[in-house]
Amino acid sequence: MLLAVDVGNTQTLIGVYAGSDLASMWRITTDRARTADEIRVNLIPLFESAGLQLRSIHRAALSSVVPQLTETWCRALRDAAGVDMVVCSARTAGDLFRTDYPNPDEIGADRVADSVAMRALYGAPCVVVDFGTATNIEVIDAEGRFIGGIIAPGLQTSAQTLFNNASKLPAVTLHAPAQVIGTNTVEAMQAGIVLGEVDRVDGLLRRVFDQLSYEAPVVATGGLAPLIAHHSKLIDHVNPNLTLEGLRLIVEARG
């Protein structure tokens, strides 16, 4: 079995594959202070809940945007399963990730994994929008090359900033109101936060298409992808497991 781990700034996504099938998946809070022993101990009940054992893992891949947890996860898997994790990067992705980017080493591991999965599953050209702590837009051109993208504050990040800095505005649940003109404070905030994110993403996608001189399929991933995609005019598909799929493909390509 194959373990794929995507360590984000806020949440960590853990997936176990049996062949190409995602057998189990968990989403846990990212804790920068967590030790390798704590990770190993916390994995045991997750695996047991799915009728799995850590020792059944024979291959593993890691995408991490939290540098202090990269080696911690690697050590945890060596101790728990005797497996060395493939740490995702533009280099370790090999021929699956083609780019003319001036400095490929600066491309985030999650952006690499998303792009690998996007190209493999949806072809080229294609665009992925990853809704996480940041909202990332990655662009694969008609020749199958990663040509760059956009990084913006994420939906929850922007909302939390508003809640923290506007003392009279309450924290609200993130869903779209029935109409854009709110008739109370909560509806007005939901319109600005959620529908504002929809229009920001659609507007950026239109600019991407203008620069490319052609349109491309757009796939959304990340925890809030279904919410935004439902109201977007340009997002074609939602694939919440895109990053994990990219990690699986990178490991399998390495043999």
- Give the pairing of strands 218-221 and 146-153: unpaired
Which two structure tokens, joined as six digits, stand for 207?
Answer: 């600019």
- Paired with 218 in beta bridges are 127
Q: Among residues 6, 79, 84, 110, which one is catalytic? A: 110
Let me know how long the chain is: 255
Residue corresponding to tokens 């199958």: 144
Which two structure tokens, joined as six digits, stand for 124?
Answer: 């080229």
CA distance 87 to 153: 25
Which two structure tokens, joined as six digits, stand for 84?
Answer: 């060395």
- Paired with 16 in beta bridges are 3, 24
What b/e string do you get for 8-37 counting C-beta neighbours within 10 Å, with b at 16 or more? beeebbbbbbeeeebebbeeeebeeebebe
CA distance 66 to 31: 10
Contact 5, 80 (CB under 8 A): no
- Determine whether 110 is an active site residue: yes
Please name the residues in contact with 94: beta carbons below 8 A apart, sequence gap of 6 or more.
250, 253, 254
Residues tagged active-site: 110
